[in-house]
């Protein structure tokens, strides 16, 4: 036995070394895209990231970041943390597999023979390496996200329960249980996924402790485990904080004590209760509790609870740091109420699971207090905020409400619930069965509504949520992946493959006809289903091993697989479409399947060796055994890594960090830049907070500007000294932007005035014409000036008392479709901004709200900021912001590079089509200031997010070149083109119409560079041809979806061929 | 024989004390509506305090395994 143990230990560490090497040599050297820069900032500077937070991740990440050599190296250290934790996960996977294999081959007390040892080691190696080099796990292992840490916690608790299982000494075994509870508690501060391991753990406990396992017993144990998860997820986690909140209300509001007294008292009481509980249960001599649990079990449970709460206490970090109000301080979780909201991810909304509405359902309408029909609502929770006054007090801000739906309009297990996604649902489903239902509106009779049926519902669940958003990811890891483009259901993007043309072509069309940019995509990885087959063999072998507990083992692994896979699909109730692929959420279920893959090797060994033994009548030599097991055990993972290495190696990429730098470089001193999503905002935050660059620029995320805590944050100064970022001049009082207030505002609504209807604009204009004196007394000089319109018409502030009766009857709205700002012309001149030819600095800036019937709080705040700044501070918008966010403001944009400057000039559509460019600044930015993240490195992998950024940049280069040519600056234009070809080369980022390559070719021609132009045109022609060929080969039902694209490519091809022929 | 002996409780208490110390070290003045407080990024608060906290959590974890006598020496 000792030999086996030593071998097992050594092999484990060998695998660990392999995994460490793999991940450490492929980590990203700085921050990665999506949430990573935010996590790095939260770890290195202890700032507060998005809900529900990861305080324990912050602490461990912080420790790692202190090993960094300088500020720029900190990101790499946090990435290294992910790499090492992932390697640790692999180590534990190896040991888990070898333990389970040994049990099945030799029984609990048997010692493996040499050939059995080899087989067991091979099984562990195979399963561990398959997982090491699989797509999803590797992706999370090389970046600073919580998923690597969470996977480690999952591996740890699973391995710990196996250690407990192995342990003969029951006293010592208890400690493993308590430690598992501790890890669970700590993992609340990483990611809640870890709780999903509980059913598997409970099953192991049940099988070990029971003398005879029965189906009924197993079901009871499982039911108990689900109740345990629910108790932790919906009981312990929210209620520990809620109780603190009630304590606070009692102490502060009722008893008049200062803030936080209630929290301290609560903590003391809680601790006292735990101590008492521990003391009471430590008495070993007693009867069974509830006639089932021994006193020792109860004491262990009490200790486990204590340690789980200890782990959970890491959230104190969130509260303490929120109180400090760092520059990134999401949700301001500084008191028990906002902490509760922070934990519950209230920002993201609720999804009905067992019973609820469909996307077409209409809420009940009842007659409201004012006699008018309104939607029926139900109060869910109350939100409280601290009121800053002489006396500390909590004030109820608003009640969270939800709509009420009638029983006819609801269904069981609704998977099609979101009214916002109606179009996407119907697009995915095609035709729906639909059923018509009556809808009563009091006072207006009965209408009809068409709701989806349960068949439609289930069809969506199976085809989209289960198949497309889970099994597809599963097959990526164990069969093969087509490419790393995000898939939306089409045949050419992001599907799973086997590698066998017969199967793949049947499912997804002739893969040979795919355009070369997709065929050559590094994300194309095929494993010929070998890992999948191994896994299935492993499952079968495990089940058939009845006498050694194989059945029980199967259920344990199956519970892990199901809970971290399909159960998540059930819980998430995803809507189409997601902004990115979500495979990282299911890494736990792929871990479970990797266990089966390892067992498959042992299964092969057992089967073949028993055949050979019976045939030849003598035992197979150790050599034959090793060949039999070691060869496939190593060959399968090696084949995998030969495919997956190239698209997971991020070691040369600096794109995210450099693009953060570029945004900042575009903005002059003390400027403001508005951003929208993750991939512009987070690199900006990272560069300012972690690398300390250009902290004078104020970054404002428009998504967050919708919330009260972020508006508060924007009003505060950040950083110090020369790099201080002055606050945004938002003039609003808190009462107007609390959560729930003015979330959306009507724009120029039509109002009924008794003797007819007219728009607010007409109404207000008429009053100003008929009685200007009174009008000005009520609403000031210009009612349509931005600040005035918001303060007087939306907030209704500062209106003289005697007119309140009149103004109270008017709706709160923007009273016009065009707002004005009186321009500070001197400030504009001082700023040195580009004044387009033939234009003068205008007296007023006209902001059109045409086409917008409502505006959001964030947009209104943005307008207020622009008005208050009045060009004394430069204001920019990132070019990655979508048009739905900035409305008609594009009419005032001047393009300077990766951001547009907001100017007081209004460009009409014909001017705008050429996109007004400040060529002097844009040249300086693109040619001198910007960095390009090593995109030109041959062989680097450009994933889709990076590619989108590259396309954006190439468009900037080509637009600049065109603009320079218009000014007659041929030499400069040529320099720009050549630089573009150098930094965004076609061998990494193929030429395409959408990236401005066509304009580049034309610009080259104008400069006299025929070769370069022809090269680009030929590539574009080739690309169009290939796409046309692909579309033409599609069957008609698939072709219909692509008809528009097909037509587009044909037009493009015709245009390009025209040009080529003309040369 | 109890699962948790005096030694274990003492180590646990030390761990908890370390955590509380760490959190206290992290505490300090914050930025207000009008002024940024550079102290929020001081060495004490973002470098020393988290390490103390982490040491506390590790100690609490160790307290579970301290002084564990095992009847069987069968280890994998």
Distance CA A656, CA A34 (A): 9
B30–A325 CB contact, under 8 Å:
yes
Please tell me which of the candidates B1, B3, B27 has its beta carbon nearest to residue A303: B3
Distance CA A674, CA A879 (A): 10
What residues does B4 pair with on adjacent strands?
A: none
B40–A317 CB contact, under 8 Å:
no
* Listed residue (A736, A863, A748) closest to A813, CA to CA: A748
Query: Which of A1, A5, A46, A54 is the mutation pick for testing B, counting most B CBs within 10 A?
Result: A46
Q: With beta carbons under 8 A apart, name residues in chain A contacting B3.
A: 171, 174-175, 178, 296, 299-300, 303
Q: With beta carbons under 8 A apart, name residues in chain A contacting B16.
A: 310
Q: Which residues of A813-846 are buried (b: 16+ CB within 10 A; e: fewer)?
A: bbbbbebbbbbbeebbeebebbeeeeeebeeebe
Q: Tell me the CA distances in angstroms from A991 to A326, A690, A951, B21, one per residue in order.
A: 43, 35, 9, 58
Number of Cβ atoms within 10 Å of the Cβ of A733: 11
- How far from chain centre, in Å, is Cα A196? 20
Instruction: Output DSSP code: residue A112.
Output: P
Provide the shortest C-alpha distance from residue A326 to chain B (in Å): 7
Q: With beta carbons under 8 A apart, name residues in chain A contacting B43.
A: none
Distance CA A790, CA A745 (A): 10
Q: What is the mean pLDDT of each run of 10 residues along chain A (1063 residues)?
A: 92 97 96 94 94 94 94 94 97 97 90 89 96 96 96 97 89 90 96 95 93 91 95 92 90 84 91 91 71 82 94 95 90 86 70 86 80 77 72 74 83 88 88 83 81 91 94 96 92 93 92 92 94 96 88 95 95 89 95 97 88 67 76 94 94 94 95 91 92 93 90 88 82 85 90 82 90 89 92 90 87 92 93 89 93 92 94 94 88 93 86 75 96 93 92 94 93 95 94 93 92 93 94 89 92 90 76
Measured between CB atoms, does B75 come within 8 Å of chain A? yes
Helix boundaries (H) for A870-918: 883-886, 909-913
Tokens 């000089």 -> residue: A781
Inter-helix orientation angle A1036-1062/A997-1006, to 10°? 10
A720–B4 CB contact, under 8 Å:
no
A66–B74 CB contact, under 8 Å:
no
Measured between CB atoms, does B14 come within 8 Å of chain A? no
Euclidean distance between the first and the last CA atom of chain A, given in angstroms as a whole number: 81
Q: If you write DSSP's letter for every residue of A670-726 in order, what string do you get?
A: T-EEEE-SHHHHHHHHHHHHTS---TTSEEEETTGGGSHHHHHHHTS-BS-GGG-BP
In a 10 Å sphere around its CB, with 0-12 CB exposed, 13-18 middle and 19+ buried, how is residue A290 labelled?
Answer: exposed
Provide the shortest C-alpha distance from residue A495 to chain B (in Å): 42
Q: With beta carbons under 8 A apart, name residues in chain A contacting B71.
A: 168-169, 171-172
Radius of gyration of chain B (CA): 19
* Listed residue (A41, A29, A104) closest to A682, CA to CA: A41
Give yes or no for a cis peptide into A577 (omega within 30° of 0). Answer: yes
Name the token pair of A333: 């979780």
Task: Tell me the torsion sign for CA atoms A356, A362, A363, A366.
Answer: negative
Q: Judge contact between A870 and A902, C-beta under 8 A.
A: no
Instruction: Output DSSP code: residue A111.
Output: P
Q: With beta carbons under 8 A apart, name residues in chain B contacting A8.
A: 76
Q: What is the pLDDT of residues B8-28, one digit of tens each?
A: 999 999 999 999 999 999 999
A60 → chain B, closest CA residue: B54
Measured between CB atoms, does B31 come within 8 Å of chain A? yes
pLDDT score, position A348: 54
Q: Strands (DSSP E) along A51-116, which ranges? A: none
Instruction: Output DSSP code: residue A876.
Output: E
- Domain boundaries along the sequence of chain B: 6-65
> Can you give A582-594 as a three-state secondary structure string?
CHHHHHHHHHHHH
Distance CA A627, CA A841 (A): 82
pLDDT score, position A259: 83
pLDDT score, position A1: 79
Residues 184-213 of A with CB under 8 A from B: 186
Please tell me which of the candidates B3, B40, B50 has its beta carbon nearest to residue A174: B3
Q: Tell me the CA distances in angstroms from A792 to A141, A287, A543, A595, A733, one per residue in order.
A: 54, 73, 73, 66, 13
A284 → chain B, closest CA residue: B2
Measured between CB atoms, does A65 come within 8 Å of chain B? no
pLDDT score, position A617: 58
Q: Judge contact between A347 and A51, C-beta under 8 A.
A: yes
Spatial CB neighbours of A505, under 8 Å, sequence gap ≥ 6: A511
Spatial CB neighbours of A332, under 8 Å, sequence gap ≥ 6: A322, A325, A338, A709, A712, A713
* Listed residue (A57, A117, A124, A118) closest to A90, CA to CA: A124
Distance CA A564, CA A590 (A): 9
Name the token pair of A573: 């109730």
Q: With beta carbons under 8 A apart, name residues in chain B contacting A95.
A: 76
Measured between CB atoms, does A512 come within 8 Å of chain B? no
Measured between CB atoms, does A8 come within 8 Å of chain B? yes
Q: Judge contact between A567 and A536, C-beta under 8 A.
A: no
Spatial CB neighbours of A989, under 8 Å, sequence gap ≥ 6: A935, A942, A947, A950, A951, A954, A995
Number of Cβ atoms within 10 Å of the Cβ of A1055: 15
A714 → chain B, closest CA residue: B33
Q: Judge contact between A662 and A683, C-beta under 8 A.
A: no
Please tell me which of the candidates B19, B41, B68 has its beta carbon nearest to residue A313: B19
Reported confidence tier of residue B76, pLDDT bands at 50, 70, 90: very low
Give the ipTM of the model, two decimals please: 0.93
Distance CA A707, CA A385 (A): 13
Provide the shortest C-alpha distance from residue B38 to chain A (in Å): 7
pLDDT score, position B75: 47
Task: Report helix, strand and coil shares of chain B as percent, to nearest 5.
Answer: 65, 0, 35
């Amino acid at each position: 036995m000792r030999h086996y143990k030593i071998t097992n230990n050594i092999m484990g560490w060998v695998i660990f070394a392999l995994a460490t090497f793999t991940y450490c040599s492929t980590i990203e050297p700085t921050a990665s895209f999506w949430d990573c820069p935010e996590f790095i900032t939260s770890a290195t500077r202890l700032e507060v990231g998005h809900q529900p937070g990861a305080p324990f991740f912050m602490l461990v990440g912080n420790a790692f970041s202190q090993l960094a050599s300088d500020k720029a190296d900190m990101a790499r250290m946090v990435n290294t943390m992910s790499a090492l934790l992932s390697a640790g996960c692999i180590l534990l996977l190896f040991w888990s597999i070898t333990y389970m294999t040994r049990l099945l081959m030799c029984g609990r007390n048997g010692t493996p023979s040499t050939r059995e040892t080899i087989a067991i080691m091979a099984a562990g190696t195979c399963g561990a390496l398959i997982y090491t080099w699989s797509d999803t796990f590797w992706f999370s292992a090389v970046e600073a996200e919580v998923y690597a840490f969470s996977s480690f916690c999952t591996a740890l608790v699973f391995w710990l329960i196996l250690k407990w299982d192995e342990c003969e000494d029951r006293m010592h075994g208890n400690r493993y249980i308590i430690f598992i509870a501790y890890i669970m508690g700590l993992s609340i501060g990483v990611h809640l996924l870890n709780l999903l391991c509980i059913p598997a753990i409970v099953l192991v406990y049940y099988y070990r402790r029971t003398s005879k396992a029965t189906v009924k017993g197993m079901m009871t144990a499982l039911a108990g485990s689900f109740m345990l998860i629910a108790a932790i997820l919906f009981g312990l986690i929210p209620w520990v904080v809620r109780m603190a909140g009630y304590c606070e209300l009692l102490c502060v509001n009722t008893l008049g004590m200062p803030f936080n007294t209630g929290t301290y008292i609560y903590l003391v009481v809680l601790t006292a209760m735990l101590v008492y509980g521990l003391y009471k249960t430590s008495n070993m001599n007693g009867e069974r509790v509830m006639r089932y649990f021994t006193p020792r079990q109860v004491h262990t449970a009490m200790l486990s609870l204590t340690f789980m709460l200890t782990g959970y206490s890491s959230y104190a970090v969130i509260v303490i740091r929120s109180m400090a109000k760092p520059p990134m301080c999401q949700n301001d979780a500084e008191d028990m109420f906002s902490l509760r909201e922070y934990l519950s991810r209230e920002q993201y909304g609720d999804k009905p699971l067992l019973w609820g509405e469909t996307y077409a359902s209409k809420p009940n309408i009842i007659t409201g207090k004012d006699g008018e029909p309104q939607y029926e609502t139900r109060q869910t929770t109350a939100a409280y905020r601290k009121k800053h006054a002489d006396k500390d007090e909590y004030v109820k801000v608003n009640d969270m409400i939800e709509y009420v739906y009638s029983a006819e309009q609801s269904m069981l297990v609704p998977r099609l619930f979101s009214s916002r996604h109606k179009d996407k649902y119907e697009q995915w489903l095609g035709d729906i069965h639909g059923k018509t239902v009556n809808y009563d509106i009091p006072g207006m009779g009965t209408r009809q509504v068409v709701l989806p049926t349960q068949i439609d519902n289930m069809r969506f669940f199976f085809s989209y949520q289960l198949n497309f958003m889970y099994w597809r990811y599963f097959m990526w890891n164990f069969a093969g992946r087509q490419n790393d483009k995000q898939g939306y259901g089409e045949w050419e993007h992001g599907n799973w493959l086997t590698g066998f043309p017969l199967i793949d072509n049947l499912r997804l069309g002739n893969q040979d006809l795919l355009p070369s940019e997709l065929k050559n995509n590094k994300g194309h990885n095929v494993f010929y289903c070998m890992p999948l087959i191994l896994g299935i063999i492993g499952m079968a072998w495990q089940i058939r091993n009845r006498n050694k507990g194989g059945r029980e083992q199967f259920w344990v692994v199956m519970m892990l697989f199901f809970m971290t896979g399909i159960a998540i699909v059930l819980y998430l109730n995803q809507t189409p479409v997601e902004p990115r692929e979500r495979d990282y959420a299911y890494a736990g279920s792929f871990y479970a399947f990797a266990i089966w893959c390892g067992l498959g090797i042992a299964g092969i060994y057992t089967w073949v060796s028993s055949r050979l033994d019976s045939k030849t009548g003598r035992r197979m030599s150790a050599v034959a055994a090793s060949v039999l097991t070691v060869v496939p055990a190593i060959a399968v993972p090696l084949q995998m890594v030969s495919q997956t290495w190239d698209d997971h190696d991020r070691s040369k990429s600096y794109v995210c960090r450099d693009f953060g730098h570029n945004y900042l470089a575009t903005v002059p001193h003390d400027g403001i830049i508005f951003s929208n999503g993750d991939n512009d905002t987070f690199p900006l935050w990272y560069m300012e907070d972690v690398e300390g660059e250009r902290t004078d620029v104020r970054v404002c995320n428009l998504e967050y500007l919708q919330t009260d805590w972020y508006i508060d944050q924007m009003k505060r100064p950040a950083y110090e000294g020369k790099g201080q970022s002055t606050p945004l001049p938002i003039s609003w009082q808190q009462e107007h932007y609390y959560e729930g207030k003015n979330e959306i505002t009507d724009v120029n609504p039509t109002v009924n005035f008794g003797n007819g209807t007219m728009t607010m604009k007409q109404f207000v204009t008429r009053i100003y014409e008929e009685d200007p004196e009174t009008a000005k007394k009520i609403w000031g000089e210009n009612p349509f000036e931005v600040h005035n319109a918001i303060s007087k018409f939306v907030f209704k502030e500062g209106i003289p008392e005697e007119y309140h009766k009149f103004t109270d009857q008017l709706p709160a709205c923007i009273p016009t479709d065009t707002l004005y700002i009186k321009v500070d012309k001197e400030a504009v001149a001082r700023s040195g901004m580009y004044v387009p030819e033939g234009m003068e600095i205008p007296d007023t800036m006209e902001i059109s709200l045409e086409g917008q019937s409502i505006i959001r709080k964030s947009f209104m705040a943005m307008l207020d900021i622009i008005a208050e700044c009045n060009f004394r501070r430069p204001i920019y918008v990132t070019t990655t912001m979508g048009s739905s966010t900035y409305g008609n403001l594009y009419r005032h944009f001047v393009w300077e590079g990766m951001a547009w400057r907001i100017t007081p000039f209004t460009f009409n559509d014909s001017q705008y089509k050429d996109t007004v460019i400040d060529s002097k600044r844009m040249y300086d930015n693109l040619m001198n200031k910007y960095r390009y993240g090593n995109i030109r490195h041959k062989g680097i992998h450009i994933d889709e997010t990076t590619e989108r950024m590259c396309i954006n940049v190439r468009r900037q280069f080509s637009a600049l070149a065109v603009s320079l040519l218009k000014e007659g600056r041929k030499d400069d234009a040529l320099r720009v083109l050549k630089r573009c070809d150098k930094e965004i080369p076609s061998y990494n980022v193929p030429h395409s119409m959408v990236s401005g390559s066509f304009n580049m070719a034309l610009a080259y021609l104008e400069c006299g560079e025929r070769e370069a132009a022809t090269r680009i045109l030929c590539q574009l022609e080739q690309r169009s041809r290939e796409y046309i060929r692909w579309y033409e080969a599609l069957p008609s039902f698939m072709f219909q979806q692509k008809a528009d694209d097909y037509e587009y490519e044909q037009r493009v091809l015709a245009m390009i061929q025209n040009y080529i022929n003309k040369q | 024989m109890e699962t948790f002996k005096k030694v274990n409780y003492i180590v646990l208490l030390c761990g908890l004390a370390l955590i509380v110390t760490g959190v206290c070290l992290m505490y300090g003045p914050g930025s207000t509506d009008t002024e940024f407080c550079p102290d929020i990024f001081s060495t004490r608060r973002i470098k020393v305090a988290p390490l103390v906290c982490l040491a506390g959590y590790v100690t609490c974890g160790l307290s579970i395994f301290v002084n564990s006598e095992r009847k069987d020496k069968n280890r994998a």
